[in-house]
Chain A
Amino acid sequence: MIDFTGWARSATDPGQANGKPEALPGLRVLEVCPGHFGGMVAASILSEFGADVIKVEPPGGDPSRKYAPEGIAIGGTGLPFLSEARNRRFVTLSLVSGEGRGLFRRMALGADMILTSEDAARLEEMGLGYESLSVENPGLIFLALSTYGSFGPNARRRVKDADILCQALSGAPYIVGEPERDGSGPPGPHQAPTRLGNWHAWFVEGLWGAFGVLAALHFRAETGKGQFVDVSGAEGLMKFVDYNITWMHTAGKERQRTGNFDPAVFPYTYIRCKDGHTFIAAYNDEAFESLMTIVGRPGLTRDPRFSTPAARVRMENEKALLSILEEWSGNLTADEILRAVEDYTTKKSGPGAAVVTGRVNRPLETLAETNWWERGCFARVADPVYGDLLLAAPPWKMSGTPARLKSVCRPPGADNKDVYCGLLGLSAAELDALSERGVI
Chain B
Amino acid sequence: MSGFQAFAENAFSLPGISAKPEVLKGIRVIELATRIFGPVTSDYLGEFGAEVIKVELPLRGDLMRYVAPEGFFWKEVSPAFLSLNRNKLHVAIDVRLPEGKDLFTRLAEKADVVVENLRAGTMDEWGIGYLQLRERNPGLIYAANSGFGQWGPYSQGRASYDATAQAVSGFSAITGFPGRPPVKAGFWVGDYTGALFSAVAILSALAARRRTGEGQLIDISQAEAMIRTLDWTWIHAGKTGKDRERAGNLDVVLPPSGIYRCADGFVALSARDGEERAGLRKAVGAASSGPAPAGEGDPLSPERVAGFAASRTRAQILRASEEAGFSAAPVVGGREQYHDPHLRARGTVWELDDPLYGRIDEYGPVPKLSESPGRMKWTAKPVGYHNEQVFGGLLDLSAEEMENLARKKVIGKWAEVPGARPPQDD
> Taking the nearest CB of chain B, how far is it from the CB of A211, in angstroms?
5
> When the two chains form their complex, are residues B167 and A171 in contact, meaning their CB atoms are under 8 A apart?
no
Q: Specify the chain A residue showing the minimal Cβ separation from B244.
A: A363
A434 interface residue, CB < 8 Å from B?
Answer: no
Q: Specify the chain B residue showing the minimal Cβ separation from A144.
A: B8
> When the two chains form their complex, are residues B224 and A377 in contact, meaning their CB atoms are under 8 A apart?
yes
A183 interface residue, CB < 8 Å from B?
Answer: no
The number of residues on chain B lying at the interface, defined by a beta carbon within 8 Å of a beta carbon of chain A, is: 169
> When the two chains form their complex, are residues B367 and A215 in contact, meaning their CB atoms are under 8 A apart?
yes
- In the complex, 17 of the A-B residue pairs with CB atoms within 8 angstroms, ordered by the A residue number, are A24-B204, A149-B368, A150-B12, A151-B5, A152-B342, A153-B342, A160-B273, A162-B327, A165-B329, A196-B171, A198-B171, A215-B48, A219-B372, A230-B370, A251-B69, A342-B158, A398-B205
B410 interface residue, CB < 8 Å from A?
Answer: no
Q: Specify the chain A residue showing the minimal Cβ separation from B154.
A: A371
Lowest 10 CB-CB distances: which A-B pairs, in order?
A390-B238, A212-B367, A400-B216, A310-B71, A168-B268, A244-B334, A197-B174, A250-B74, A214-B203, A197-B175
> Taking the nearest CB of chain A, how far is it from the CB of B112, in angstroms?
11
Q: Note all chain A residues with C-beta closer than 8 A to B254.
A: 67, 162, 164
> When the two chains form their complex, are residues B253 and A80 in contact, meaning their CB atoms are under 8 A apart?
yes
Q: Note all chain A residues with C-beta closer than 8 A to B168.
A: 358-361, 366
The one of A175, A207, A236 in contact with B187, judged by C-beta atoms closer than 8 angstroms, is A175
> When the two chains form their complex, are residues A398 and B182 in contact, meaning their CB atoms are under 8 A apart?
no
> When the two chains form their complex, are residues A162 and B71 in contact, meaning their CB atoms are under 8 A apart?
no
> Taking the nearest CB of chain B, how far is it from the CB of A312, in angstroms?
9
A5 interface residue, CB < 8 Å from B?
Answer: yes
Interface string of B220-240 (1 = CB under 8 A from A): 110111011111111111111
B44 interface residue, CB < 8 Å from A?
Answer: yes
> When the two chains form their complex, are residues B187 and A159 in contact, meaning their CB atoms are under 8 A apart?
no
Q: Specify the chain B residue showing the minimal Cβ separation from A251.
A: B72
Known: A164-B268, A380-B238. A238 touches B5 (CB 8 A): no
Interface string of A240-253 (1 = CB under 8 A from B): 11111111111101
Q: Note all chain A residues with C-beta closer than 8 A to B9.
A: 151
A43 interface residue, CB < 8 Å from B?
Answer: no
Known: A4-B131, A168-B330. A35 touches B273 (CB 8 A): yes
Q: Note all chain A residues with C-beta closer than 8 A to B150.
A: 4-5, 8-9, 12, 397
> Taking the nearest CB of chain A, how far is it from the CB of B45, in angstroms?
9
Known: A49-B204, A211-B203, A395-B225. A258 touches B186 (CB 8 A): yes
Interface residues in A362-421 (C-beta closer than 8 Å to B):
362-367, 370-372, 374-375, 377-378, 380, 388-401, 403
> When the two chains form their complex, are residues A158 and B322 in contact, meaning their CB atoms are under 8 A apart?
yes
Q: Note all chain A residues with C-beta closer than 8 A to B71.
A: 309-310, 313
> When the two chains form their complex, are residues B152 and A227 in contact, meaning their CB atoms are under 8 A apart?
no
Give CA–CA (A380, B235) in the complex, Å.
Answer: 9
> When the two chains form their complex, are residues A227 and B186 in contact, meaning their CB atoms are under 8 A apart?
no
A328 interface residue, CB < 8 Å from B?
Answer: no
Q: Note all chain B residues with C-beta closer than 8 A to A234.
A: 329
Q: Note all chain A residues with C-beta closer than 8 A to B261.
A: 192
> When the two chains form their complex, are residues B232 and A83 in contact, meaning their CB atoms are under 8 A apart?
yes
Q: Specify the chain B residue showing the minimal Cβ separation from A48.
A: B204
Known: A4-B121, A257-B186. A401 touches B236 (CB 8 A): no
> Taking the nearest CB of chain A, how far is it from the CB of B78, in angstroms?
8
> When the two chains form their complex, are residues A216 and B368 in contact, meaning their CB atoms are under 8 A apart?
no
> Taking the nearest CB of chain A, how far is it from the CB of B245, in angstroms?
9
Known: A84-B231, A363-B233. A395 touches B197 (CB 8 A): yes
Interface size class of A (residues with CB under 8 A): 35 or more
> When the two chains form their complex, are residues B183 and A177 in contact, meaning their CB atoms are under 8 A apart?
yes
B173 interface residue, CB < 8 Å from A?
Answer: yes
> When the two chains form their complex, are residues A392 and B228 in contact, meaning their CB atoms are under 8 A apart?
yes
B272 interface residue, CB < 8 Å from A?
Answer: yes
Q: Note all chain B residues with C-beta closer than 8 A to A154.
A: 342
Give CA–CA (A2, B371) in the complex, Å.
Answer: 45
Q: Note all chain A residues with C-beta closer than 8 A to B329.
A: 147, 159, 165, 168-169, 234
Classify the secondary structure of A's interface with B.
mixed
B406 interface residue, CB < 8 Å from A?
Answer: no
A21 interface residue, CB < 8 Å from B?
Answer: yes
Give CA–CA (A12, B175) in the complex, Å.
Answer: 32
B395 interface residue, CB < 8 Å from A?
Answer: no
Give CA–CA (A310, B70) in the complex, Å.
Answer: 6
> When the two chains form their complex, are residues B68 and A152 in contact, meaning their CB atoms are under 8 A apart?
no
> When the two chains form their complex, are residues B238 and A360 in contact, meaning their CB atoms are under 8 A apart?
no
> When the two chains form their complex, are residues B206 and A218 in contact, meaning their CB atoms are under 8 A apart?
yes
Q: Given A63-B273, A158-B322, A218-B203, 6 other A-B contacts at CB below 8 A?
A: A149-B348, A217-B207, A223-B371, A238-B337, A254-B335, A378-B227
> Taking the nearest CB of chain A, how far is it from the CB of B147, in angstroms?
8
Interface residues in A167-181 (C-beta closer than 8 Å to B):
167-169, 171-177
Known: A150-B12, A375-B221. A366 touches B170 (CB 8 A): yes
Known: A72-B239, A392-B230, A401-B216. A247 touches B334 (CB 8 A): yes
> Taking the nearest CB of chain A, how far is it from the CB of B197, in angstroms?
6
Interface string of A300-321 (1 = CB under 8 A from B): 0000000001100100000000
Give CA–CA (A84, B185) in the complex, Å.
Answer: 24
Give CA–CA (A207, B238) in the complex, Å.
Answer: 25
A332 interface residue, CB < 8 Å from B?
Answer: no
> Taking the nearest CB of chain A, how far is it from the CB of B169, in angstroms?
6
Give CA–CA (A356, B147) in the complex, Å.
Answer: 10
A29 interface residue, CB < 8 Å from B?
Answer: no
Of the candidate stretches B100-108, B289-297, B357-365, B397-405, the one touching chain A is: B357-365
B117 interface residue, CB < 8 Å from A?
Answer: no
B299 interface residue, CB < 8 Å from A?
Answer: no
> Taking the nearest CB of chain B, how far is it from the CB of A113, in angstroms?
12
Interface residues in B228-265 (C-beta closer than 8 Å to A):
228-244, 246-249, 251-254, 257-259, 261
A195 interface residue, CB < 8 Å from B?
Answer: yes
Give CA–CA (A154, B18) in the complex, Å.
Answer: 24
Q: Specify the chain A residue showing the minimal Cβ separation from B357.
A: A250
> When the two chains form their complex, are residues A394 and B228 in contact, meaning their CB atoms are under 8 A apart?
yes
A299 interface residue, CB < 8 Å from B?
Answer: no
Q: Note all chain B residues with C-beta closer than 8 A to A35.
A: 272-273
